[in-house]
Chain A
Amino acid sequence: MNPALLSVEHLQVDAGGARGAAPKPILRGVTFAVQPGETVGVLGASGSGKTSLALALLGLLPPALTARGRVLFEGHELLTASRGARRALRGRRLSIVFQEPLTALNPRMRVGAQVAEMARAHGERDARRAMRGAVDMLGRVGLPEADVRAWRYPHELSGGERQRVLLAMALLLDPALLIADEPTSALDVTVQAQVLELLHALQRERGMALLLVSHDLGVIATSCARTVVLHDGLVVEDVPTRQLLTAPEHPQAQALVDAVRPAVRSA
């Protein structure tokens, strides 16, 4: 059997413990794996710990949160890795797209430069070449008139365009795994569909693994072959998405499926 691209074993994340207060558990022993090229959805209601999961994988948890357990990515142990090792992986092998595109972009930097910075963070010395690569990538994620838009500031673009910028940034160096944390929840419904389609197309085109975190099963169902259901800090189901839709076992999973059943049925 091929070794998994990402293997999460008993991941625990706790909050607090400051000033004598008891630490609050957010993730209580999450275990699942992602194979190369696989599309996996992480489904959970708000408060289930799914964003913390995404951040823990990248080592981007806020200082108040601590992670324990084992996370193996391409053979590297992420939780105990050195800062330098983690930094080298971020963006190059393992990327993330965040939920709110407006706040996730630096308001004072042109979007093209922010995308190009990804290359420059990983060794590209030639500024012009980095910029050309960025413009090219922006075109490939479907940003209209990319060579013009690249010189704009985030507030001059629409929500959907900003999300494309974040995608371009995340995919510039062709990572093996892309984590998408609620990539569409801040967008209009019509734009949501476009972005999801784009995500799907890019994933297929590059053979990249996708870990899509969402509270919306409809979103996950369109892009993910397998779904991990997270409830109260634990994995309660880990099955092919099709199976989840037709025969959910855990009552929480049932509730989430019911919430979207009519829409999904018709898809």
Chain B
Amino acid sequence: MTRRLVARLLHAAAVCAVVATSVFLLLHFAPGDPFATALDGADVPPSVRAEWRARYGFDQPPGERFVRWAGALARGELGYSASRHRAVADVVADAMPRTVLLVGVALLLGFAAGVGIALVQTRHHRRWQDRFLGALTLGGVAVPEFLVALLAMTWLGARWRLFPVAGIGGLGDAGAWPLWERIIDLLWHLALPAGVLALAVASRVARHQRVALLGVMREDYIRTARAKGLGEWDVIVRHALPNAIGPVIALLGLALPSLVGGAVLIERIFGWPGMGLTLFDALLARDYPLILAAVLLATVLAVVARTVTDAVAEYVAPRRARET
């Protein structure tokens, strides 16, 4: 098991390396060398300009530049953001936790809801509850997350004013409010974005989990469980679910890259100041170092999340492998 864990970590590192290299190539070989151009902009203080130029070795040949850049990256230096007047690393350090919060909450809620839906569908297989929930989950996967976000923002947010439509609330005014109120305010602002993303997660999880559960329900030990006089819910939850949940976690891991992509759009629509919104603001301002750092880190987030879910799936489902 440790061997597989190490293999996974190496794989994750390899992905990050590939992404980082691709980012470098885009930065330095795109038409017009945007990285250099960004530094030559008017609002960059000359001292900063000189410092970053030296650090990134713009006068050096490409090979040397790559090495220096990789070294800088390893040290956590991601360049200077002209649009925000701060080091990119600082901007990202603020934004990343908010994206992690959004994606994390959505994953947990969505997974729980999805499994719950699938359980109900299995209990009432082929009856109206199954069909109704099946139609709902189909809608959940057919309507793209950003469109659901748009609808939610338009109706629940703007029209009916149930939730705020933008931002993260007064969290920035540290110390201005009591902690408890700030947390509630944060949650209120988190509700719609995380809710929409959770809906997407729940729909996918429910569809996969239903298939897995129905497959397991055909096994002989389910018949044994019924022969003991167990009620149908007990049979499904205590016997079918533990055997059916492992593959679903693994599949969720596979869907993570596209979920992170969805989260990025949702942040933009709701104005949630995480990596996604940072990315879009940077796009508008043509702030290339920030653009590419945002892409890099969002990808890293997806890779890390996937590694975690793979490890969890492995933990939940190893005994199957040991059987002959």
Binding site for B on A (CB under 8 A): 58, 60, 87-92, 95-96, 98, 100, 103-109, 117-118, 121-122, 153, 155, 166, 169
Q: How far is the CA of A58 from the CA of B227 in the complex (A)?
A: 7
Pick from B226, B227, B243: contact of A108, CB under 8 Å: B243
B interface majority secondary structure: helix
* A103-B219, A103-B220, A107-B243 known; A60 vs B228 contact (CB < 8 Å): no
* B221 in contact with A106 (CB, 8 Å): yes
Smallest Cβ-Cβ distance to A93: which chain B residue: B229
* A100 in contact with B220 (CB, 8 Å): yes
* A91 in contact with B221 (CB, 8 Å): no
Pick from B223, B234, B319, B324: contact of A104, CB under 8 Å: B223
Residues of B within 8 A of A98 (CB): 220, 223-224, 227
* B324 in contact with A155 (CB, 8 Å): yes
* B229 in contact with A155 (CB, 8 Å): no
A interface majority secondary structure: mixed
Residues of B within 8 A of A109 (CB): 239, 242
Pick from B225, B227, B229: contact of A106, CB under 8 Å: B225
Smallest Cβ-Cβ distance to A106: which chain B residue: B221
Q: Does B43 contact A (CB under 8 A)?
A: no
Most chain A beta carbons < 10 A, residue from B221, B227, B230, B319: B227
Q: How far is the CA of A176 from the CA of B320 in the complex (A)?
A: 36
Smallest Cβ-Cβ distance to B316: which chain A residue: A108
- What are 19 contact pairs spanning A and B, CB under 8 A? A58-B227, A60-B226, A87-B231, A89-B229, A90-B227, A90-B229, A91-B227, A91-B228, A98-B227, A103-B221, A106-B243, A107-B243, A108-B319, A109-B239, A121-B229, A122-B229, A153-B319, A155-B323, A155-B324
* B220 in contact with A169 (CB, 8 Å): no
Residues of B within 8 A of A155 (CB): 319, 322-324
* B227 in contact with A60 (CB, 8 Å): yes
* A106-B243, A107-B323, A108-B242 known; A121 vs B228 contact (CB < 8 Å): yes
* A155-B323, A155-B324 known; A104 vs B220 contact (CB < 8 Å): yes
Smallest Cβ-Cβ distance to A113: which chain B residue: B238
Smallest Cβ-Cβ distance to B317: which chain A residue: A108
* B221 in contact with A87 (CB, 8 Å): no
Within 8 A of A (CB), among B214-258: 219-221, 223-231, 234, 238-239, 242-243
Smallest Cβ-Cβ distance to B225: which chain A residue: A106
* A117 in contact with B220 (CB, 8 Å): no
Min Cβ gap B212→A in Å is 14
Pick from B224, B230, B238, B322: contact of A87, CB under 8 Å: B230
* A105 in contact with B229 (CB, 8 Å): no
Residues of B within 8 A of A106 (CB): 221, 224-225, 239, 243
Min Cβ gap A9→B in Å is 23
* B228 in contact with A169 (CB, 8 Å): yes
Min Cβ gap B234→A in Å is 7
Q: How far is the CA of A95 from the CA of B229 in the complex (A)?
A: 9
Pick from B219, B226, B242: contact of A90, CB under 8 Å: B226
Residues of A within 8 A of B323 (CB): 107, 155
Residues of A within 8 A of B219 (CB): 103
Q: How far is the CA of A43 from the CA of B319 in the complex (A)?
A: 38
Q: How far is the CA of A106 from the CA of B244 in the complex (A)?
A: 12
A91-B227, A118-B228 known; 16 new pairs, CB 8 Å cut-off, are A87-B229, A87-B231, A90-B228, A91-B228, A91-B229, A98-B223, A98-B224, A103-B221, A105-B224, A106-B239, A106-B243, A108-B319, A121-B228, A155-B319, A155-B322, A169-B228
